[in-house]
Structure 1
Amino acid sequence: MKDVNFIFIVLALIAEIIGTVGGFGSSVFFVPLGNFYFDFHSVLGLTAIFHLSSNLSKIFLFKKGLDKNLLLNIGAPAVFFVILGGLLSKYVSSSLLEIILGLFLVGFSLLFLVKSEISISPNKNNAIAGGALSGFSAGLLGTGGAIRGLTMAAFNLKKSVFIATSAFIDFMIDFSRTFVYYNNGYIHKHDLIYVPFLLVIGLLGSFVGKKLLIFIPQSRFRRLSLIFILIIGIVTLVQLMMTSSSN
């Protein structure tokens, strides 16, 4: 137990709760936070394992809200591209891609917060493109939920439908990339000490997040999700600046 960083565990729980409320998963917080404590590849491996349990919890808690059309249109390309991204992560430097992702999240969320009347057209082509981009980002950078969240927000879904569908897609993504990351050597024995904690956090965080959703009106849900995404982008960029200044 002396080798366990309990501050990281508490932060992981907060990430899971906010990820449940936001509807786009905890990896968008978990990956930037994890990079403060582990090397990038270890974070990828831990994220995949962590999400398998947390998304199973969300599927169970919100199982009545699944949108099968979005599951197919977003989920299928996401699974294909997460495998591709996971394979490429072994050969491509992630620094530039993390900067691009951070700038994209900040810029896109600010645009939608300031110009709330702007929306992505809720059609099949946009759903497929969003799924492919989110899957590729998840495989390469460890997080693609925010991109998927922006795509799904266009369809103006009810909270339960949004979260259940997003969690099911996320589960398929994590199940696929776990095998890729294991083959890449990202799942290390010395990090497995955190797995029991992360499994409990996945269950507890999903449960607490569901309870908090009772107090969030439907009209504020989209705006809250965008604010979370903005914070994620800022945290990502700040982390990158701190890392570069220390080198």
Structure 2
Amino acid sequence: MEKYFVFLILALITEIIGTISGFGSSILFVPTASLFFDFKAVLGITAVFHVFSNISKITLFRNGINKDIAIKLGIPAVLFVILGAWLTKYVPVKEMELGMNILIALLAIFLLFRFNKPIKQTNQNLYLGGMISGFFAGLVGTGGAIRGITLAAFNLPKDIFIATSALIDLGVDLSRAVIYVSQGYFPTEYIKLIPFLILVSVLGSYLGKVILKFTSEKLFKYIVLGVVLLTSLFQFINYFTVHTTP
């Protein structure tokens, strides 16, 4: 019981940070949850949790959705998240965890050196960003940062950025949740967590929105970068500690 309590507190923190950063909480939630659960269970719990998380954000930021970007980025993301989620049945857990660590590290390096150099505002980049973010969301549980990098090219205001990202992510998470549950990644023993995950998603999204009112656009970008860098460092330390311990 104590394990679940600590997990839910950390989940709340990741949800707040995820809302502020605009990337969603998966980039922090997945590595955090992996400390408490088997990695495939983490995939299932993450997908179910983020369905509620994204509904909360869409409700709170519903007046800021850019439908054109959501469609062009969202449809490829949904198609490729299905592919990535299906492949988890065949990829060993250790390789999926390592892939997650490498992905987060590469994203951190990319943001560090291209912080003020956004990608071009083209439909091709929207399609490609959707494909890549969706695929990795399905395969290793997190693709929100890639989607965030793509959206950042369009210089969207904070509210529109978060709402548009949440709408895309809702389609992604619903799709992968169906596949994960059908593959047994959400054991029945975790059903009892659902009411608490709903509460965490609503409260975390709300607190994130409140904090955003006092956060400048410039600080907002630094928060995004900080989230990715800290997560990358944390994950590599955790991964190599676990897999090198006798």
TM-score range, shorter chain: over 0.9
Which residue does the alignment assign to 2:236?
237
1:161-189 deviation per Cα after TM superposition (whole angstroms, max 9, x unaligned): 10000000111111111110111111101
1:1-247 matched pairs, under 5 angstroms: 2=1, 5-246=4-245
More displaced 10-residue stretch of structure 1: 156-165 or 95-104? 95-104
Distance (Å, rounded) in 2 between the aligned partners of 1:117 and 1:60: 31
1:123-170 deviation per Cα after TM superposition (whole angstroms, max 9, x unaligned): 111111111111111111111111111111111110001000000011
- CA-CA distance at 1:93 after TM superposition: 2.3
Asked if the contact 2:107/2:146 (under 8 Å) is kept, the reply is no
Consecutive unaligned residues in structure 2, runs of 5 or more? none
Asked if the contact 1:4/1:194 (under 8 Å) is kept, the reply is no
- CA-CA distance at 1:232 after TM superposition: 1.9
Asked if the contact 1:48/1:178 (under 8 Å) is kept, the reply is yes
Equivalent AA in structure 2 for residue 200 of structure 1? L
Consecutive unaligned residues in structure 1, runs of 5 or more? none
Distance (Å, rounded) in 2 between the aligned partners of 1:81 and 1:111: 22
**3-state SS of paired residue (1:215):** coil
Segments ≥4 residues shifted beyond 6 Å: none
More displaced 10-residue stretch of structure 1: 85-94 or 203-212? 85-94
Q: How many residues align?
A: 246
Equivalent AA in structure 2 for residue 28 of structure 1? I
Distance (Å, rounded) in 2 between the aligned partners of 1:118 and 1:190: 46
Distance 1:37 1:95, change over 3 A: same
Output the TM-score relative to the length of structure 2: 0.94
Distance (Å, rounded) in 1 between the aligned partners of 2:115 and 2:23: 19
Asked if the contact 2:107/2:145 (under 8 Å) is kept, the reply is no
Asked if the contact 1:98/1:236 (under 8 Å) is kept, the reply is no
- CA-CA distance at 1:94 after TM superposition: 4.5
- CA-CA distance at 1:226 after TM superposition: 1.6
Distance 1:108 1:176, change over 3 A: closer
How high is the sequence identity, in percent, across the aligned residues?
A: 43
Asked if the contact 1:4/1:193 (under 8 Å) is kept, the reply is no
1:186-210 deviation per Cα after TM superposition (whole angstroms, max 9, x unaligned): 1101111211111100000000000
Distance (Å, rounded) in 1 between the aligned partners of 2:165 and 2:114: 25
- CA-CA distance at 1:228 after TM superposition: 1.0
Distance (Å, rounded) in 1 between the aligned partners of 2:153 and 2:104: 16
